[in-house]
Structure 1
Amino acid sequence: MSVAEKTAKKSGGLGETVNVIFQALILALVIRTLLFQPFSIPSGSMRPTLLEGDYLFVTKWSYGYSRYSLPFSPNLFSGRIFGSSPERGDVVVFKFPPNPSLDYIKRVVGLPGDRIQMRGGQLFINGEAVSREKVGEINDPDVTEVDRPVDVFRETLPNGVSYETLDLTPNGIGDDTREYVVPPGHYFMMGDNRDNSTDSRFTVGYVPEENLVGRANIIFFSIAGGASPLEIWKWPTELRPWRLFNFVR
């Protein structure tokens, strides 16, 4: 084989490698933009449903696409394309309205036009109390974030969606609120950890439909103790295998 042929072969091999890498990056970008986005839980606001150290997939097509569906949220268009409305009880990732560079995750409890209020720790929707039943206690700091037993209540929304909430502090600051009237095109979000959640009762406010990123779908990894998934040597003690591949409800 001549020197020229060897050079051409090397150039062809390099070009092919670059082409494969480029195609892989484009495919990853398309999947992240249109299909799935990985998301890690940064705080305890959704305990006991979601824990810090949970890693989950968010389905991007659930509510259609807005500029916030794209990396870096370029202001290319307004509103949503192929939009559909979230259902009451969905766990949703959205852009924090006061600062859209931040991702938040909460549960939808109020739809456009709803009247939402907390009275004595109980959720009221349009003047009707949401079913709330004490189902026991959790005495596990990995779940509750506190070293004592915590009361657990099961809420069931009018559409039948049921989930557990924590009551860390009876008569907490968010247990009694004014009545909120959700504007058109907006949603009212709350965390399941009712006494430790910055949500629509506080600085989050009403969340515009455009800010919705996607629906939390399935936990694909979970590790405790603030460990990174890359710290494999911590897996024997910190991995939560019972949470892997659980659907978010």
Structure 2
Amino acid sequence: MNWKQNFFKKTPKTDKPKKSKTREWVDAVVFAVIAATIIRGLLFSAYAIPSGSMEGTELTGDYLFVSKISYGPRMANTPLAIPFTEPVMYGVKTYSGAIQLPYLRLPGLGHIKNRDIVVFNKPDEAGPEYNIPTDERTTLIKRCQAIPGDILTIVNSQVYINGKPAPNAPKQQTSYAVTTTGLNINPDIMKEQNISIRQQLGPDTYEMIMPASAAAVLKGYSNIKSITPVIAPAGTYDPEIFPHNEKFKWNVDNYGPIRLPKKGWTTPLSDSTLTLYRRAIEVYENNKVEVNGKDILINGKKADNYTFKMDYYWMMGDNRHDSLDSRFWGYVPEDHVVGKAILTFFSTDSTQSFFNKIRWNRVLRPID
């Protein structure tokens, strides 16, 4: 018997059935959806700026690429969702909460740093009254001012981190009281300097939102009598400010000091610390908190202290007097973080005509 001949004998080829055009299209679409889902879930996503809270740095109408790999991709809490859609479209939810997975984040390239511009889910929508899974909550973009363990203080609108003044964003905006001689400011100057009127304070006095550079320019015009920053005085209690307690007489311009919770950090529990940290303990870390006389009970047991299970961040808009941020709803838990804003890839201005709508100077612009 010729073993060599039989061993190396070629098996005759059988022609595979050719795919139909429909099958080829279906395979291509399935592959595209899977590839896009992996890229969007693990690497980066596109987001649009809907409001002016970051005005100056990021503009309404900017479209951003957000890197998820920078801080580690967060796995979906709600796997039963229609991909590439908003959580609610035309009043109908595009996800099902029937299956909700626990928080899990894969390793990333690094961690959130002070001054990073971060996209995250709105922590104000946590809690049973909303009943919205974490990854389906409204997405926001703000600048991280404080990281876990930092002590944040705001004095006359200047942010201090651990006792040192934090650098302000180059195009950060705030409010100024502008008094004129009665002559209006040229609208072209207002547009060029990115100045907007927030409200009228008197016959010739207006509260205007602008960057410091614009305030310096306005001072040079003959129809401007005075420009002074609008700052809420220290010791003035604003009931809208977190932690919504008159014991803490804080406002948007004078706030703190407050320490950002850090995973593994243990804080003693008292009336004051519970006021500051109760939402984190109860809502974000899913504990039942009760106060019985002078005793504080966590999950039915008396507790003198509490050790945090997650890291927390402090996010603020660069448009300081037109931003709902951590000053109003408090800490951002790590499980709400989506990723780091890295690139403005497109931008449109809804106030302009069709041919002038695109802001070409902002296309493919790195974010800092």
Computed over aligned residues only, the root mean square deviation of the Cα atoms, in angstroms, reads: 3.2
Structure 1 partner of 2:102: 77
* Distance in 2 between residues matched to 1:96 and 1:168, nearest whole Å: 33
Query: Which region of structure 1 is more displaced relative to structure 2, 80-89 or 103-112?
Result: 80-89
- Matching residue's letter, 1:106: K
Q: Match of 1:161?
A: none
8 Å CA contact 2:44–2:66 kept in 1: the answer is yes
Q: Can you give the 5+ residue segments of structure 2 that lack an aligned partner in the other structure?
A: 1-16, 84-94, 126-133, 174-188, 199-207, 214-226, 233-250, 263-310
Which residue number in structure 2 is paired with residue 223 of structure 1?
348
Structure 2 residue matching 1:105: 3-state secondary structure: strand
Which of 167, 176, 190 aligns to 2:254? It is 176
Runs of 4+ deviating beyond 6 Å: 133-138
In structure 1, the residue corresponding to 2:23 is in which secondary structure?
A: helix
1:28 aligned onto 2:53: no
Shift of residue 169, structure 1, vs aligned partner = 5.8
Most deviating of 239-248 and 81-90: 81-90
Q: TM-score, normalised by structure 2?
A: 0.54
Query: 1:44 touches 1:193 (CA, 8 Å); kept in 2?
Result: yes
- Tell me if structure 2 keeps the 8 A contact 1:68–1:95: no
Report the Cα distance in structure 1 between the residues aligned to 2:171 and 2:338, rounded to whole angstroms: 32
Quote the residue 2:191 is aligned against.
Answer: 140
Quick one: structure 1 residues 149 and 141, their matched pair in 2 at CA, closer, same or farther if it must change by over 3 Å?
A: farther
> Are 2:214 and 1:188 aligned?
no
Aligned 8 A contact 2:56 2:171 in 1: no
Ranges in structure 1 where 5+ consecutive residues have no aligned partner: 1-7, 154-166, 228-233
Please state how far the C-alpha of 1:98 moved relative to its aligned partner: 2.5
Q: TM-score, normalised by structure 1?
A: 0.77
Structure with the greater alpha carbon radius of gyration: 2
Q: Describe the SS at the equivalent of 1:221.
A: strand
Q: 1: CA distance between counterparts of 2:123 and 2:52?
A: 20
> Which residue, 83, 93, 102 being the options, matches 2:119?
93
Counterpart among 103, 110, 113 of residue 146 in structure 2? 110
Identical amino acids, percent of aligned pairs = 34
Distance 1:41 1:112 in 2: 26
Residue type matched to 2:73 in 1? Y
Q: Equivalent of 1:60, from 68, 74, 83?
A: 68
* Equivalent in the alignment of 1:241: 360
How far did residue 242 of structure 1 move?
Answer: 0.6
Shift in Å, 1:210: 1.4
Measure, in 2, the Cα distance between the counterparts of 1:81 and 1:239. Answer: 37
Q: CA deviation at 1:118?
A: 1.0
C-alpha offsets along residues 5-28 of structure 1, whole Å, 9 cap, x if unaligned?
xxx97x711111111111111111
Q: How many residues align?
A: 221
Q: Distance in 2 between matches of 1:135 and 1:197?
A: 15
